Structures are given as C-alpha cells and as structure tokens.
Amino acid sequence: MRKKSPNRKRARKRKVRNISETDRKLVKMAQDVLRQIEKGHPPSVEIPQRGLSNVIFDDDSRILKMGDKTSKRSFLNIAHTRKFMQTMLVASYAQKLVKDDKHAGIRELYYALKHSVGSSKENTFEEQGESNIIIEDLERMLDLLREQMNLTADRRGFIYGDIEIFDSGDRFNASKLGRGGWAVPGNIEDIKLKKSNVDYVLVVETAAMSDRLIEEKFPKDNNCLLVACQGQAPRGIRRLLSRLHLEMDLPVVVFTDGDPYGWYIYSTIKQGSINLAYLSNTLSVPKAKFVGMTMDDIETYDLKGVTEKLKDLDKKRIEEELKYPWFQNRKWQKQLQKCKKMGVRIEQQALANKSLEFVAKEYLPEKIENKNFLP
Amino acid sequence: MRKKSPNRKRARKRKVRNISETDRKLVKMAQDVLRQIEKGHPPSVEIPQRGLSNVIFDDDSRILKMGDKTSKRSFLNIAHTRKFMQTMLVASYAQKLVKDDKHAGIRELYYALKHSVGSSKENTFEEQGESNIIIEDLERMLDLLREQMNLTADRRGFIYGDIEIFDSGDRFNASKLGRGGWAVPGNIEDIKLKKSNVDYVLVVETAAMSDRLIEEKFPKDNNCLLVACQGQAPRGIRRLLSRLHLEMDLPVVVFTDGDPYGWYIYSTIKQGSINLAYLSNTLSVPKAKFVGMTMDDIETYDLKGVTEKLKDLDKKRIEEELKYPWFQNRKWQKQLQKCKKMGVRIEQQALANKSLEFVAKEYLPEKIENKNFLP
C-alpha cells in the first residue's frame, strides 16, 4: 500500500533549521520588547487567540489551522501584568535551554520558575496549569512546537518493527529488541529515522493488543511498524507518527477500541486536537486511515456477546464527535449514529473471543488488504 | 555498593522448571476433580483464603506470606457452582496456553471465555472483575504467578543502562538505545538477563524524571541501571526488579515523589501488596531501599516554596501506611507523621527549582554515596 510523496524535502528542511530558528524567534521577541521599553512605550506582545473561534478546518489540506485573530498582552495593563511577566520568564527559560542544548519537562519548567517575586508573597506561578498555558501561547506566537523549544511532554508508548533509528550516537533496529520494542522518548526532535523496509505503520491503542500482535509476528508477516500509543497518543508518539509519514513516506493506519474514546484517539492522531490546532502541521497525520474497531464489526464478526455498555462519558463524546469537521462524511456519521443507537462499545481484545490468532491472521490482514478503512 | 548473595541458584532453578511445573500443577488439579467425579463424589477444590486475616508478615525474610487457612469450593454447593465452573474454565484455558506456548492478556482471557452457557441466557462471566478473581485464586491454589501460566498483565515502563538482555533470539544492550531505553513487556518470564557491569538499580517513579537522569548521563556516570515504572509498578516491572536482584545480585534503590502515593509505590516494590501477598516471593524485593523524596528533603534542600498541598486521598493513605508492618520503624514513622503534620507533598521534579542538573549531580549521588536511605 506504499505511495511515494514529495514530503521528504519539506520535512528535512524543517529539521535542519530547528535550533537556530527557535533561538532566533525567541531572541527577536525579547528584542521587540526591549525596543518598546527603550522608546518609553509600555511593552506588549501579540498573541494569537485560543479557542474554537480562531480555528479553521482547511478542507484542502484536511488539517486544523490557526486563524489570524490576535490579542495584545501588555505589561502596564493590570489584567495582563502577571501573564506578561510569566511569558517573559518562560521564553527566557526556553531560550536558555536551547542555548545550553538541554531539555526540560514542562513540570520541571514550572518548578524551576516558581519563586516569590521580590520581597512580596506573590509567586511567579501558583500551579502548573499557569505555566502550561504560557507554553501554549508561545507555541502559537512563534509557530514553534514546545519540543522545538526543548520542552518535553511526559512520555509513554513504544515502537516495534523494522526501522533503523539513530539517536545520541546509537544506531539500532527496533525489530531486534526481543518482544519489548523501543520506548519512545518525550522529545524526538533530535533522533534520525534511517532505513526502513516496511510498507506502513499500524498504530495500536493498547499495550496488550500490541503484545498480541508481536507474539503473532504480525509486524514481520505484514511488513509494518507497530506503534503502541497506550491510550491517548502522547506528543512524542504523535510527532513520531508525523515524521514517519513525512520523512519515510509511510501510510499510517490506526487500530483502536470501537468506542468514542478510541475514535477520539484516532481523531487526535489524524487532525490534532481543537485546543492545539496551531500544532496540526507538525503533529498530525491528516491522511491517516482507521481500520477498526467499528460498530459494523460487531455484526460482521458476530461479537454481540462480548460488547460492553456505553458509559455517560461515552455518550457525551459521541455528540461532540458527530460535530467534528473531519467526521462530516457518510461513513463516520453512520458509525457514530449506530453506536448511539446500539448503546454499546466493542474492545480490540474482544476479538480474542474468536481465537487469540484471529486479530492477526484474519481481522487485520483482510481489512487492510481490502482497504476496508474509515476516512 | 554491590554485594554478592547466594540467590542465583535459587532463581535459576525457578526459571528452568517454570513450564513443566505449571502444566503439571494444572493437570494435577484437573485429575483430582476428575477422580472425585469418577468416585461419585461432588467435585471440589481447596483455595487459600484471601484478605488480611490470611496474610503474615514474616519478620525474618521481611516479606508478606500467605497463611494456611483454606476454603472449599464445591460444584454442588449452589453458592459455589458459578465460581467452580469459572475456575475450571480459567485453569483449562491457562493449561492450553502453556501447552501451545502462547500468552494472553487477562482481558483477552475474559473475552475468550465469555459466552452463554448452553441454551440459557446465563454468561460464563459478566465482567472482567470475575475472571481476574479466579486468576488470583489459581495463583494462590497452585503457588504460581499468573505469568507462569502465560497470562500477562498490561505493560508500562522501560529500562535503560548497561545490561545485555536476550529475548526471542535477539541480544541487545539497553544502554545502546539512544535516549529511549527498552520497553519492558508485560511478561518477562522467558527473557534472559545477561552480562551487566552496573553496581545497582535505580527505580524512578516518573518518565519525566527518567528523561532528566538520562539527559544528565546519570546511569553511565553512576554505573547503575535505570528502571522507570511510570506510576505504580506494573507486574512486568516488579518481576524484572525481582529478577535483577535475585539473578544479578543487584541492590535496588527506589526514587519516588515525596508523598503517600510515592511511598506506596515503594512499598509495593519492596513487599508486595496486601491483596497479592502470596506473590511476594517472586515479585518483591524485600531488601530494596528508599532514597527519596522525604519530608526531611524539604528542609535540607530548602524546597518549602515548591511543595504542594496534600489531597484527601493522600491523608487517607498516610493513615494506612502508618500501620504497614514494614513501616513499623522509627525512620518511616517519623516521615509519615511529619507529612501528616506539614500537610504538604514534594515532587521529584521540584528539585528542578535548584537547577536541572541538581538531582543528578548532587541530590542522588550524595544520598546514595552516604547511604542516606529509608529502610
């Protein structure tokens, strides 16, 4: 199912300019502020607005994009002073990280910058939520991933299969690590993806299903990479998928539970989340396909006996997903409506009801061979 | 800090007899039941009782042990019939797994065995909780880990550092995998731990702190393995720690947040959980030591500004931990009482308030060098 695309050059270009670009943008923002002060003007920065009203779904590229509405954050506006101070602190810390070639977790950043201001009892930050928001602001202001500012999200998930990876002087193949696979770091900006002979990437929601597919030798027999996201895909995994797609021209196929949460995981991998729409270009895979589970599977594979009842949160999520721009097509609307009507969910592992081998020997190969995907 | 111990032979012996021992025990149980039926007796099995009343803390070996109280589970007692049927189903499935050299997740087992009984509307299992309990019963009845019955818990966590691992025909060193490390499978019964030149194992609660220590080259500079448990240690990680200790004679040092949940993670690694006391021999490391964080650290390292308030669940957990047999010593009682009194917790990552390097260059090396541990 492999297809070549002209993405490679674009991807490579983005990598090379990373560090210098980050440093340049952070320094430029600081110089702008300094210049305002030197001119005797009250210093301020322009920040793209967050929220749905400033998000556009681009029908051509099929990704979420940031609109052009901005807000001014001004030091001498008493409603903005605290946030302005926080913005300068976080930007300064990030610039130091990049200069020193160090990385920090976003929780480390919070603790590193938390202190009382002068002799007052006022703290720079009261809780991590405050610094997280500033990081998002900077990402939108500077059009940079936090990872490009050497800020790292918590990691989870692993990759298994025939790909050579080059990281910190080590070169290894992720198919030569027993049944374990490579634990994907939170920040993968500096790794190099080398030779791979696979045809596509299969993303799997649960670690247990990944273990099943590894035991059944699915990645080897079907010439694919397996990426376990272990729940909602963390940023390291999303960035890895985006890079595998852009740099290695690999199609991405997603395999989750058949329920509103599984479909939400797919949606995030494919399009990005609405809250972080501005990151879609480098964190999402708009051409990703969904292989299952679907509500149709329950009938096709006679799984009625092993469904579970929907919870209230599931029902709420269906209503949200019915409105997602990228689910505005016949196939997805049908599955979502069907789920609502049937009131049940079906888990990946319910396929074990047929036999342990079934998922690897019949379900996935047949669906993938026949391109029986949801868009 | 390395010490040699006579554990190796015992550990090796346990591994070799795994599969045949499991098969033998499962078959023997089935034959006993069959013999009762053939004699015209109502079939039954003896199951060690669960719960605190059948758990003993062995002061010599410092681990939890199962007491000798048992209950009879009889097919013709209407209160037991369903559970008896479930016990036979799970045992039979496990025996088939072992014979076929296959592994199944405990969720797969649930789905594989779920079906209606005969022409009735009665299901063999209504929810996974039912099959989980039967698995625990079998573990206690047969003195076997579920992993030895080829049943696998969900996986999480990774290992990083200088150890050669042999798994499924692959041989690799976990210090040669960039910054990623090896993703530890849910079932590690079949892997072989080969040469390692390290002095000890450092268990780290969070992935983000592990990333920090990897970036600071802590494992290399301090000649240790790093194991990230990413929250409460999953069974694959606990079993790995136990094997590293028993087979490689490596001391285990645990580094968690300074709060009741972190101390609970330590407690489980060290002694096993009260609910699964019967597994302590092969899943716990009674000689593990605790390096931090402690309440004393808050004063010693001037971290008052970066503590967080305790939540209700934390407070409840302190009361439980005050009663744990292995916390009945002056040092732990002091920390627990201090936490209760101060009403705050301190996270690993709060050490970033000193500097990013502080944890790797000062905090851990000093404490470990001076053996400034809690027991």
Q: How confident is the model at residue A6 (pLDDT cuts 50, 70, 90)?
A: very low
Question: How close A353 gets to chain B, by Cα (Å)?
Answer: 4
| Three-state secondary-structure class, residue B159 | strand
Asked if residue B148 has pLDDT above 60, the reply is yes
Of A108, A182, A352, which has the smallest distance from its Cβ to B104's Cβ? Answer: A352
CATH of domain B18-152: 1.10.10.10
For chain A, give every residue range classified as CATH 1.10.10.10. 16-152
B371: left (phi over 0), alpha (psi -120 to 50) or beta: left
B192 touches chain A (CB under 8 A): no
Q: Which residues of B touch A102 (CB under 8 A)?
A: 215, 356
Q: How confident is the model at residue B12 (pLDDT cuts 50, 70, 90)?
A: very low
Q: A310-327, pLDDT tens digit by residue?
A: 999 999 999 999 998 889
Chain A and chain B share a number of CB contacts under 8 A equal to 177
Q: Contacts by B336-341 with C-beta closer than 8 Å and gap 24+? A: B336/B260, B336/B263, B338/B295, B338/B296, B339/B258, B339/B259, B339/B260, B339/B295, B339/B310, B340/B315
Q: B259-315, pLDDT tens digit by residue?
A: 999 999 999 999 887 666 667 778 889 999 999 999 999 999 999 999 999 999 999
A85 touches chain B (CB under 8 A): no
Of A116, A208, A347, which has the smallest distance from its Cβ to B305's Cβ? Answer: A116
- The residue written with tokens 């009782």 in the block is B49
The predicted model scores a pTM of 0.90
What is the C-alpha separation between B116 and B89, in angstroms, rounded?
A: 13
Q: A61-80, pLDDT tens digit by residue?
A: 777 788 889 999 999 999 99
For chain B, give every residue range classified as CATH 1.10.10.10. 18-152
Question: How close B359 gets to chain A, by Cα (Å)?
Answer: 11
| A16-152: CATH class | mainly alpha
Of A115, A158, A168, which has the smallest distance from its Cβ to B179's Cβ? Answer: A168
The more confident residue out of A247 and A8 is A247
The more confident residue out of B189 and A84 is A84
Assembly ipTM: 0.89
Asked if residue B154 has pLDDT above 80, the reply is yes
pLDDT at site B281: 72
* DSSP state letters, A67-121: -S-EEEEETTSTTTHHHHHHHHHHHHHHHHHHHHT--EEHHHHHHHH--B-TTSS
Asked if residue A7 has pLDDT above 60, the reply is no
CATH of domain A158-369: 3.40.1360.10
Query: Are A107 and B349 an interchain contact pair (Cβ–Cβ within 8 Å)?
Result: yes
Which helix (H) or strand (E) segment holds residue A161: the answer is none
Closest alpha carbon within chain B to A105: B208
pLDDT at site A278: 66
For chain A, give every residue range classified as CATH 3.40.1360.10. 158-369
A56 touches chain B (CB under 8 A): no
Query: Are B183 and A186 an interchain contact pair (Cβ–Cβ within 8 Å)?
Result: no
Cβ under 8 Å to A: B residues 194-213 = 206-209, 211-212
What is the C-alpha separation between A213 and A222, in angstroms, rounded?
A: 11
B168 touches chain A (CB under 8 A): yes
User: What would the mean pLDDT of B84-96 be, rounded to a whole number?
Assistant: 97
Asked if residue A288 has pLDDT above 80, the reply is yes
Per the CB < 8 A criterion, the answer to whether A61 and A326 are in contact is: no
pLDDT at site A174: 96
Query: Are B356 and A212 an interchain contact pair (Cβ–Cβ within 8 Å)?
Result: no
pLDDT at site B7: 52
Asked if residue A2 has pLDDT above 50, the reply is no
Asked if residue B62 has pLDDT above 80, the reply is no
A69 touches chain B (CB under 8 A): no
- Highest average pLDDT, of A52-56, A150-154, B218-222, comes from B218-222
Q: B333-367, pLDDT tens digit by residue?
A: 999 999 999 999 999 999 999 999 999 999 999 99
Q: Which residues of A touch B258 (CB under 8 A)?
A: none
- The residue written with tokens 């034959």 in the block is B31
Asked if residue B231 has pLDDT above 50, the reply is yes
Q: Which two tokens stand for residue B97?
A: 């797994």
End-to-end CA distance of chain A: 15
What is the C-alpha separation between A118 and A159, in angstroms, rounded?
A: 47
Angle, CA of A70, A74 and A79, to the nearest 5°: 100
Question: How close B106 gets to chain A, by Cα (Å)?
Answer: 9
What is the C-alpha separation between A289 and A346, in angstroms, rounded?
A: 19
Q: A105-145, pLDDT tens digit by residue?
A: 999 999 999 999 988 889 999 999 999 999 999 998 998 88
Cα four-point dihedral sign A153, A157, A161, A166: positive
Q: How confident is the model at residue A275 (pLDDT cuts 50, 70, 90)?
A: low
Of B155, B187, B211, which has the smallest distance from its Cβ to A105's Cβ? Answer: B211
Closest alpha carbon within chain A to B172: A177
Query: Are A352 and B108 an interchain contact pair (Cβ–Cβ within 8 Å)?
Result: yes
Nearest to A304 by CA among A344, A277, A335: A344
pLDDT at site B275: 63
